[in-house]
Amino acid sequence: MYYISTRDPNNRITASQAIMKGLSADGGLFLPEEIPQLPKNALEELGNIPYCERAAYVLSLFLTDFSYDELLQYTTKAYSAAKFGTEKIAPMAKLNDRLYVLELYHGPTCAFKDFALQLLPYLLTAALRKNHCDKTVVILTATSGDTGKAALEGFCDVNGTKIGVFYPDGATSKIQRLQMTTQGGENVAVFAVKGNFDDAQNGVKQIFTDTDFAADLCEKGYVLSSANSINWGRLVPQIAYYVSCYCDLCQNGAIKQGEKIDVVVPTGNFGNILAAYYAKQMGVPIEHFICASNQNNVLTEFFTTGRYDRNRPFYTTISPSMDILVSSNLERLLFMQSHSTEQLKDWMQGLAKQGVYELPKDIMQEIRKEFIAGFADDAECKQTINHIWKKYGYLADPHTAVGLKVYQDCLKAGKTSNIAVVAATASPFKFAGDVLQAIEKDELPADEFERLTVLKNVTGLPIPDALYQLRHKAERFTKTCKPQEMPKTILSWLA
């Protein structure tokens, strides 16, 4: 199977090349030329095997220049009970007969990004070998809070790689920042960017399309890649957990084989929800995708009106990993729905130049058959954390709570009637202060780690050890740069 760029379908490369490059030099994103189909009975058979085998199977359908055995080796190392604290790796919690939570936050950095970023180092280093590349890969990552740490953890001291992370200064939770700035390892660097996530992501994208910069690095023995969800290697491991959750729902009798479900995803860069869309394209019976945003509700407006307009205030919210106005992965969905590459390029040019594009009615009608969108502001998000805790004894983090709130709205409006799965994207302990306020409303302790302890005492839930250990760690990285200084910053780090 070959991969093409959203902006040039004639440029065909292999899966390993797509993973190596991350972003296409024409500014487009790589995607598979066609979607592999799950054979009949595959969902039944996958139900009987452990997570790492399910994942290796799904990966093998997309990454055809990797063997199944090779992929199984990687998934076995990446998805171990030791790392994820549970044999199930992606367990489900039942809130009621119609509503399940897919817990994606049991990995080493307590967010769903671990599913991709525990695996990506194996995929990427294998991709380098397959393509006889003897250069050191420099992985550049823009993060709104969780990708950075997950990427640092995955690539820390991996031979032949270096990893540089850019996060928006002052816009992550304190725990998220400490997770990144205390990171150990010889091959890592972390920088705060004076700006928001979009500025950081845009800075990284510009570097990727700067051929002079690439040539300069090449001479120094480096090649660039990305650990953001613009990299296909980030998305494909996420498809696996949607396939897996369908198998689990069938296994535990919640649904019958073939029954349609709805999937609710708290969304920022549109990567996680797009992975669910690919699962459907492969044959997983999903009817609707419910795209949940926080107050940065550019996607809600897009799905409602067909107009994507990033010219709007940027809000800093209590779900910081979704504080995004340019959802990069939407380009992959639009590519699949557009009538021509020229049309897609027009929209993307509109976005780059005026910050706006508008889809024709016929295309929006098709998209709306599958996608439903809504948003929740911080107050609604906190009310939802409180309500879900009181009613079901389930503690949701602010991102997951945005998903739960939008699901409830859709249910009331009669937009969803299938059994629904909400993706739980982070541990509530990453956002202990806001979660505590939501369920207790008492005065918060000033110290972040005392908040973790109070949250543990109030809920009886364990503090993830990796987060509690942060209190002893010194911050290693304190450099700040402007978005336009990112290239210079990278060069001086590599020198």
Which residues are near ligand PLP by CB under 6 A? 111, 113, 146, 229, 266-272, 321-322, 399, 425-426
Give min distance, CB of 293 to ligand PLP, in A. 9
Looking at 79-231, list the stretches that DSSP marks H as alpha helix, in order from N- to C-terminal side: 81-84, 113-117, 120-130, 146-155, 174-181, 197-208, 211-219
Position of tokens 């205390």?
182
Nearer to ligand PLP, 255 or 374 (CB): 374
- Beta strand ranges found along 276-370 (DSSP E): 286-293, 307-309, 356-358
Nearer to ligand PLP, 161 or 272 (CB): 272
Nearer to ligand PLP, 319 or 416 (CB): 319
Nearer to ligand PLP, 332 or 399 (CB): 399
Say how far apart CA 101 and CA 254 lie, in whole Å: 13
Give min distance, CB of 410 to ligand PLP, in A. 18
Nearer to ligand PLP, 114 or 248 (CB): 114
Three-state SS for 109? coil
**127 closest CA partner among 160, 149, 154, 152:** 160
Give min distance, CB of 434 to ligand PLP, in A. 13
Q: Give the pair of three-digit tokens for residue 9.
A: 């379908």
Nearer to ligand PLP, 267 or 416 (CB): 267
Give min distance, CB of 270 to ligand PLP, in A. 5
Nearer to ligand PLP, 330 or 344 (CB): 330
Nearer to ligand PLP, 234 or 451 (CB): 234
**105 closest CA partner among 395, 454, 392:** 395
Give min distance, CB of 302 to ligand PLP, in A. 14
Position of tokens 């890649």?
225
Nearer to ligand PLP, 66 or 394 (CB): 394
| CA 326 from centroid of its chain's CA atoms | 14
* DSSP codes, 390-453: HHH-----HHHHHHHHHHHHHHHTTS--SEEEEEE-B-GGGGHHHHHHHHH-SPPPSSHHHHHH
**237 closest CA partner among 417, 467, 77, 27:** 77
Give min distance, CB of 166 to ligand PLP, in A. 15
Residue 483 DSSP symbol: G
Nearer to ligand PLP, 267 or 384 (CB): 267
CA distances from 348 to 25, 193, 330 (A): 15, 25, 10
Give min distance, CB of 113 to ligand PLP, in A. 6
Nearer to ligand PLP, 43 or 426 (CB): 426
Nearer to ligand PLP, 49 or 461 (CB): 461
Burial call 112-123: b when 16+ CB within 10 Å, e when fewer: bbbbbbbbbbbb
Give min distance, CB of 130 to ligand PLP, in A. 27
Give min distance, CB of 93 to ligand PLP, in A. 16
β-pairing verdict for 261-266 and 286-293? parallel
Q: Give the pair of three-digit tokens for residue 55.
A: 């994942």
What are the residues facing 292 on neighbouring strands? 266, 374
- For 490, list phi and psi in degrees, rounded to 5: -65, -45
Give min distance, CB of 272 to ligand PLP, in A. 4
Give min distance, CB of 213 to ligand PLP, in A. 26
Half-sphere exposure of 340 (CA within 13 A, CB side): 3
Give min distance, CB of 494 to ligand PLP, in A. 27
Nearer to ligand PLP, 250 or 290 (CB): 290
Give min distance, CB of 177 to ligand PLP, in A. 14
Q: Quick one: CA dihedral 341, 347, 348, 350, positive or negative? A: positive
Say how far apart CA 158 and CA 58 lie, in whole Å: 25
Q: Is 400 within 8 Å of 267 (Cβ atoms)?
A: no
Say how far apart CA 55 and CA 345 lie, in whole Å: 33
